[in-house]
Structure 1
C-alpha cells in the first residue's frame, strides 16, 4: 500500500485549493450520509499561523451549496476541555455569520467535524454524533415542528435547525475497514488506503495526496511536521507514564514495565505506518532498532 499525506497537513497546505475540494466533499458526504458540495472556503482561525499550531491542530471552515457552515478541525494534542472548545467554536460561527438586525430565521446551520488523535472522553465507538432534541419531561415525546415551520425552514425536525457535532476518534480504530466511513477512518489513522477502498473522496486522495508527488522542499517540510507530531505524542505518552508510575505501588513495577513496553511497540507500529524513519521512532519511543523493525 502507498503512503499518503496526513490529513491535517493536507488541510493546511493542499485542500484549500478548489481543485482539491473533492477530498473534503468525499469525507463529508461519507460522514453526513448526504451529498455535500463545497462552494467555498471561508476565513478561519487556523489561517493565522502560529509555530505550535502548525503541528498541534488545524481547522478549516467550508460553506456548502446549501449555505450551511462546516467546521472541520484536527486536534493532535490532548485537551481535557475539548468538548467546551467545540461548543465555543460553533457558538462563534453562529453569531459571526448573521448580520445585525437580521431575523433569527437567518441563523446558519453549523456542522462541527472533529478529528481527534487522542483519547477524548470514555466510550467504545470511534465515531460519535451529537444533536439537539427537546424531549418532554412527563410524556417523553420529542418536540416537533409545525407544518408551517417545516415548510418555511425546509427541514423535518427541530434538531436540523441546531448545530450538529461529529467526533472521529481515529486512533481507536484497529480493525479491517468494511464500510466507506471505516475506510476513511483507516486513512486518517494510518495514511494508507487499501486497494479495495472505494469511499467517496479516496480516489481524489490517491490522485492528489501522494507523498512521492511532493517537491523536495514540500517533502522536507512535511517530514518535519511528522517529527513534530512524534515529539508531541511522545511528550503526552511520557506524561501519562510518569503519572501512572507515581500512582502505583513499587511491587507492580514489573507488570507496568511490560505494559509500557507493549504501548511503545503499538506507537512504533503506527509511526512506521506514517512513514517515519527508524531513527525518529527510536527517539520518540526509546525502543531499539531491532524492536522497531519487528513492530
Structure 2
C-alpha cells in the first residue's frame, strides 16, 4: 500500500500538464541537469502551435529555452511520440524551434546548442544500452580526421567541432532499463519507467517530483483524466503488440506457403526431366498448366 501511495504520475503527463508551469521549473531543471550533465536554468517554455495541438494527446513535445553552466542560451526539446518513422519525424521536428527563435532575433549566434531528448516508451531499434546519444561529426573521407571549424564569439575567433554546434540527440529507451537504480540518472529512468520514486532518493529533483507529481495528490477529475490517458497508451501498446505478433505469424504462414510453392516447382522440373507431359506434371503437382508450360520453355531455352 505504501508503494501505491508513493506512485507518481507518468513524466509525459507531468510535462504536458504541470511542468511547463514556472512554479514547477525546479523538477524540470533537475531532470535536464542530470541528463545533460551540467547545471541548467530554464528561462522559458516556448509555447507554439504544435505544443497546443498535442497538449491533450498522448503525444507531447515541449520546447525549452534555458541557460547552461556557462550562461549560454541553449534550446532543449523533450518529446514522447509513439509514431512510425520516428527518426524521420525527430530530425524534421528539431529545426522548428531553432527557426522560430532565429526569426525572433534575426540572428543565429544567440543559440549556442540544441538538445533533443526523446523519452521512448516503445520498442525502438536494437542495442544493449537504455540511453543513446548522437551528434554530428564531419570525418575526412581520406584522412579520417575530425573537421574543426572557426566561428566568431565575442569578437574573437574560436575553434569548435561541429558537434558543439549541431543538435545533440538523446534517446532514452525506457523499456530497456532493467537494473537497480543507483546513480541519479538511473533513478530518473527508473521513475520514467515505473512511476515510483523512493522516499530516500537523493537524485536532484526527484524529492520535489515525489511531492508535486504524486498520483493521490490530484483531484478526482485530474486522476480520471490521467487514468484515461494511461488507458489510451495501454490500448495503443496492445494494438502495436498485436500487430507485431500478427506480422510474425503472417510472415511464418507466407514463408511456409512460399516454401511449398518452391517445392512444387522443383518437383515439376524433375517430372518434366523424366519425360512426363505438361498435363501429367500439372495434375501431379497441382500447379496450373500454364505455369508448367512456362517451365518447359525455360528448360528448352537453357
Deviation at 1:99? 2.8
Given that residues 188 and 203 in structure 2 are in contact (C-alpha distance below 8 angstroms), is that contact kept between their aligned partners in structure 1?
A: yes
2:234 corresponds to: 230
Given that residues 94 and 108 in structure 1 are in contact (C-alpha distance below 8 angstroms), is that contact kept between their aligned partners in structure 2?
A: no
Is 1:16–2:20 an aligned residue pair?
yes
Cα deviations by residue, 1:61-119 (Å, 9 ceiling, x for unpaired): 111033211111012x3x33111111111122222221389454345532111101111
- Tell me the secondary structure at the aligned position of residue 181 of structure 1: helix
Distance 2:225 2:91 in 1: 33
Distance 1:27 1:155 in 2: 30
1:263 corresponds to: none
Find the partner of 2:170 among 166, 170, 181: 166
Q: Answer with 29-38 or 176-185: which moved more.
A: 176-185
* Change beyond 3 A, Cα 1:44–1:119: farther
Cα deviations by residue, 1:44-64 (Å, 9 ceiling, x for unpaired): 3553236xx734311111110
Distance 1:153 1:118 in 2: 44
Structure number with larger C-alpha Rg? 2
Distance 2:137 2:11 in 1: 32
1:131 corresponds to: 135
Is 1:60–2:67 an aligned residue pair?
no
Deviation at 1:235? 1.0
Is 1:116–2:116 an aligned residue pair?
no
Find the partner of 2:201 among 194, 197, 200: 197
* Change beyond 3 A, Cα 1:116–1:170: same
2:265 corresponds to: none
1:28 corresponds to: 32
Residues paired across the two proteins, number = 247
Cα deviations by residue, 1:24-46 (Å, 9 ceiling, x for unpaired): 11111111101011011111355
1:73 corresponds to: 79
Distance 2:152 2:52 in 1: 43
Distance 1:232 1:193 in 2: 26
Distance 2:176 2:49 in 1: 27
- Tell me the secondary structure at the aligned position of residue 73 of structure 1: strand
More strand by share: 2
Given that residues 118 and 169 in structure 1 are in contact (C-alpha distance below 8 angstroms), is that contact kept between their aligned partners in structure 2?
A: yes
Unaligned runs of 5+ in 2: 257-302
Given that residues 55 and 229 in structure 1 are in contact (C-alpha distance below 8 angstroms), is that contact kept between their aligned partners in structure 2?
A: no
Is 1:213–2:217 an aligned residue pair?
yes
1:99 corresponds to: 103
TM-score (norm: length of structure 1):
0.76
Find the partner of 1:141 among 140, 145, 152: 145
- Tell me the secondary structure at the aligned position of residue 56 of structure 1: coil
Which structure has more relative contact order (CA 8 Å, sep 6+)? It is 1
Cα deviations by residue, 1:240-269 (Å, 9 ceiling, x for unpaired): 12112222359x9xxxxxxxxxxxxxxxxx
Given that residues 148 and 159 in structure 2 are in contact (C-alpha distance below 8 angstroms), is that contact kept between their aligned partners in structure 1?
A: no
Distance 1:98 1:147 in 2: 18
Q: Answer with 167-176 or 92-101: which moved more.
A: 92-101
